[in-house]
């Protein structure tokens, strides 16, 4: 199996989060982009302000690596108008995949219409530009019933508003990797949460993000049925080593 084509190599830290200067952090991003090119990963996942950099590097290298970015990251509480502006700019800068953080806090407090509307409008924008759209539900912030319900809600909005040929371009994604859990609980993908997502998001695809740290764990996720895996240690996983990244 060519596992590289399942891996979205990810670096989403701001300079402040990485305790680096802007210049130093940009250099880290460049290293991740070049590694994705060299290793043939499916995608490089970076912050929106780095999409132009990735686009230039990938074009100069004549590479097929796709570019993904995050929208409304990491809290998901941006208004849908703010998310659409951010997504439109990312599209113009060269992004292929748009990973929206769903407003899971609105969902938890019962504001279902808000969530339905952002899923509809965000997906509509992405698909209109022939992009892949992923909805991050932040499983660590949800209980099992909420994971099931939100996965199904995203599926139902997509199925009610878009043609069947669009379904393969919309994903439900587990995590941002930035959610702070208590008592050391997982903040990313686990087998139980991924199974719930797969069962309730189908026919949409699922991306397992965060928590996948070995080649064997990645294979397990693929066998379960995920189509993408987000990790800050893509090269280590592909080479059969234990990931040392925090995502």
H or E stretch including 7? strand 7-11
Instruction: Write down the pLDDT at residue 245.
Output: 62
**Per-residue pLDDT at 208 exceeds 80:** yes
Instruction: Specify if 132 maps to a domain.
Output: yes
CATH number of residue 207's parent domain: 3.20.20.70
**Per-residue pLDDT at 247 exceeds 90:** no
Q: What are 235's two structure tokens?
A: 């090269």
Helices (H), the chain: 15-18, 22-39, 51-60, 80-93, 104-108, 112-128, 144-161, 191-201, 215-224, 234-238
Percent of the chain with pLDDT over 70: 98
Instruction: Specify if 131 maps to a domain.
Output: yes
Instruction: Write down the pLDDT at residue 31.
Output: 98
Active site residue 96: no
Q: What domain count does the chain have? A: 1
Per-residue pLDDT of 103-147, as tens digits, reads: 999 999 999 999 999 999 999 999 999 999 999 999 999 999 999
Instruction: Specify if 247 maps to a domain.
Output: no
Active site residue 116: no
**Per-residue pLDDT at 186 exceeds 70:** yes
Tell me how far apart the alpha carbons of residues 240 and 53 are, in angstroms, rounded to a whole number.
29
Query: Are the C-beta atoms of 236 and 244 separated by less than 8 Å?
Result: yes
Instruction: Specify if 177 maps to a domain.
Output: yes
CA nearest 231: which of 177, 179, 192? 177
Pairing of strands 43-46, 7-11: parallel
Choice among 83, 96, 99, 131 that is catalytic: 99
Query: Are the C-beta atoms of 187 and 179 separated by less than 8 Å?
Result: yes
Tell me how far apart the alpha carbons of residues 170 and 205 are, in angstroms, rounded to a whole number.
7
- Over range 29-57, report the average pLDDT: 98
Query: Are the C-beta atoms of 203 and 167 separated by less than 8 Å?
Result: yes
- Over range 194-221, report the average pLDDT: 96
Instruction: Specify if 244 maps to a domain.
Output: no
- Over range 44-70, report the average pLDDT: 98
Percent of the chain with pLDDT over 90: 91
Active site residue 8: no
Range of 12's domain? 3-238
Higher pLDDT, 135 or 182: 135
**Per-residue pLDDT at 66 exceeds 90:** yes
Record the pTM: 0.96
112 DSSP 8-state letter: H
- Over range 174-182, report the average pLDDT: 91
**Per-residue pLDDT at 246 exceeds 70:** no
Instruction: Specify if 246 maps to a domain.
Output: no
């Amino acid at each position: 199996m060519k596992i590289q084509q399942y891996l979205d190599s990810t670096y989403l830290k701001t300079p402040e989060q990485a305790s680096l200067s802007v210049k130093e952090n940009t250099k880290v991003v460049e290293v991740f982009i070049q590694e994705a090119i060299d290793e043939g990963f499916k995608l490089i996942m970076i912050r929106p302000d780095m999409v132009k950099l990735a686009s230039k590097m990938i074009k100069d290298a004549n590479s097929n690596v796709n570019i993904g970015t995050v929208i409304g990251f990491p809290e998901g509480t941006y208004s849908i108008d703010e998310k659409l502006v951010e997504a439109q700019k990312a599209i113009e800068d060269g992004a292929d995949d748009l990973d929206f953080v769903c407003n899971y806090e609105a969902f938890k407090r019962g504001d279902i219409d808000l969530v339905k509307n952002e899923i509809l409008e965000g997906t509509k924008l992405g698909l209109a530009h022939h992009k892949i759209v992923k909805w991050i539900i932040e499983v660590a912030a949800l209980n099992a019933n909420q994971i099931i319900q939100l996965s199904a809600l995203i599926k139902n909005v997509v199925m009610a508003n878009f043609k069947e040929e669009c379904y393969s371009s919309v994903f439900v994604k587990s995590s941002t990797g930035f959610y702070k859990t208590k008592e050391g609980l997982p903040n990313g993908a686990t087998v139980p949460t991924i199974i719930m997502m797969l069962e309730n998001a189908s026919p949409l695809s699922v991306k397992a993000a965060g928590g996948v740290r070995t080649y064997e764990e990645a294979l397990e996720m693929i066998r379960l049925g995920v189509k993408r895996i987000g990790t800050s240690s893509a090269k280590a996983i592909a080479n059969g080593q234990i990931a040392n990244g925090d995502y």
